[in-house]
Amino acid sequence: MGNTLKRLSITGVAAVAIFATTTVTNASAAGGGAACSVTGASGSLTFSNWSAHHVNISGWVKDTAADGHHVAIRFVSIDDNAGWVTEWAWHSEYSGKGSTASFTTYASPSGDHLDHIGAQVAVMEGSKIVRACTDYA
């Protein structure tokens, strides 16, 4: 019994070490993506040429419900050194159920780092978020 518990503890530590390694290496990745869906909206961002200070972004957001709300997607980034999340400008789709808005852009923050990057998809009423989800690359 004692050996079994020791083995489980070591396995747990190894799993934590693997997760920590994966998280740290994401910031140096050349690309990736983030996507999520909520009732009424789905969207995705694809990232290329990702470095600590620049990333190219292509994305889309789709309205999936005839609910009278519009949908939007935005890029989000985390700077581990400064300890904050930056929420970038929304890209919206106003044409109703079944419509998709696509775009390309980039982010190059001055002084901030793009340690973790992701997408936030939302169903909106004016500028108010009704429902949202967030996913990180």
Backbone angles phi and psi of 93, in degrees to 5 = -130, 120
Q: What is the pLDDT of residue 4?
A: 36
C-alpha count within 13 angstroms, C-beta hemisphere, residue 70:
13
Q: Do residues 77 and 86 make contact, with C-beta atoms less than 8 angstroms apart?
A: yes
In angstroms, rounded to a whole number, what is the distance separating the alpha carbons of residues 80 and 17? 18
Sign of CA dihedral 92, 104, 23, 43: positive
Sign of CA dihedral 8, 9, 10, 14: positive
Q: What is the pLDDT of residue 13?
A: 31
Q: Considering the entire predicted model, what is its pTM?
A: 0.78
Residue whose C-alpha is closest to residue 113's, from 22, 5, 24, 35:
24
Q: Does domain 29-136 have CATH number 3.40.50?
A: no
For the segment 56-104, what is each residue's pLDDT rounded down to a tens digit?
A: 999 999 999 999 999 999 999 999 998 889 999 999 999 999 999 999 9
pLDDT, mean of residues 45-55: 96
For the segment 101-116, what is each residue's pLDDT rounded down to a tens digit?
A: 999 999 999 888 999 9
Q: What is the pLDDT of residue 30?
A: 66
Q: Check pLDDT > 70 for residue 41.
A: yes
In angstroms, rounded to a whole number, what is the distance separating the alpha carbons of residues 76 and 20? 21
Q: What is the pLDDT of residue 110?
A: 84
Domain ranges of the chain: 29-136
Residue 69, judged by CB atoms within 10 A of its CB (0-12, 13-18, 19+), counts as buried
Instruction: Give the helix/strand (H/E) hosting 66.
Output: none
- pLDDT, mean over the chain: 83
